Amino acid sequence: MKKILLVNDDGINAPGILTMAKVLSDDYDVRVVAPAAQQSGMSQAISAHRKIKVKKADIGLPVEAFRVFGTPTDCTKLAIEVLYEHDLPDIVLSGINDGGNLGTDILYSGTVGAAMEGHLHGILSIAVSRVVGSQLSFADAAAIFKKKLPEFKQERPYMYNVNFPKKIQDPFNVFYYTKQGYRKYHNEYGREIDADGDICYFMNGTPNDEGNLAGSDVWAVQNGFVSITPLKVGRTNKKLLDKLSADN
């Protein structure tokens, strides 16, 4: 039986991760290691130079679970390097996140960051998200994903970013392999004074998804497909590097 490490950034009590654990546990050896509280937007942050509390958790399912008082990436690192150091997972799954992680979202996403850490450790890793306002329940998304899971290429420790749309348009043509699109946010900052008299700001962002061409993750989700985007670590601008090298 294949071993799956389930992580997320919405927290260990989030319905997305609990539903995924329930749906997968019949056919996989599932272990849950997730943040104690909401950790969205943490990207691949780690808790350097401070203690990280870890506690056994009862999530109401017959799976081993740990509550981590740290970031999503802390969860993956602790699971792989400490908790299951001698019993490594075959797959790292992050999600199901409540909200899409499309285009440039992946730079900020704790869901993607937690999965990317698994990829860095040489383990097949997949981030799974469902866009806001989706008509698909977490149970629907988990069941669809479970059927697709054996088809993910596993001969190398690839990294995938999966996003479920508001509605699947064609039940016979569900998935679309995509490239990373572009998502620009219009951010507004609210301002308030806290109990100590200090000024505080809070951010609300509205995405602008215009200009994404066919074949991008944003386009696929807008058109009712489940987007699957293979990701990698390297961000080197090779064209500019070649030009700079040639100029020298």
Residue-wise pLDDT for 172-206, tens only, equals 999 999 999 999 888 889 999 999 999 999 998 88
155's CB contacts (< 8 A; 6+ apart) are none
Residue-wise pLDDT for 88-144, tens only, equals 999 999 999 999 999 999 999 999 999 999 999 999 999 999 999 999 999 999 999
SS3 content of the chain, % helix, strand, coil (to 5): 25, 30, 45
4 pLDDT more than 90? yes
The answer to whether the CB of 217 falls within 8 A of the CB of 201 is: no
Between the alpha carbon of residue 140 and those of residues 19, 146, 222, the distances in Å are 10, 10, 18
Of the pLDDT bands very low, low, confident and very high (cuts 50, 70, 90), residue 155 is confident
pLDDT > 70: percent of the chain: 100
221 pLDDT more than 90? yes
Q: Name the pTM for this structure.
A: 0.95
User: DSSP readout, 146-198?
Assistant: HHHGGGS--SS--EEEEEE-SS-S-TTS-EEE-B----EEEEEEEEEE-TTS-
Domain ranges of the chain: 3-181+211-247
Superfamily classification of domain 3-181+211-247: Survival protein SurE-like phosphatase/nucleotidase (3.40.1210.10)
* Predicted local distance difference test score (pLDDT) of residue 16: 98
Smallest CA-to-CA distance from 111 within 34, 52, 189, 190 is with 34
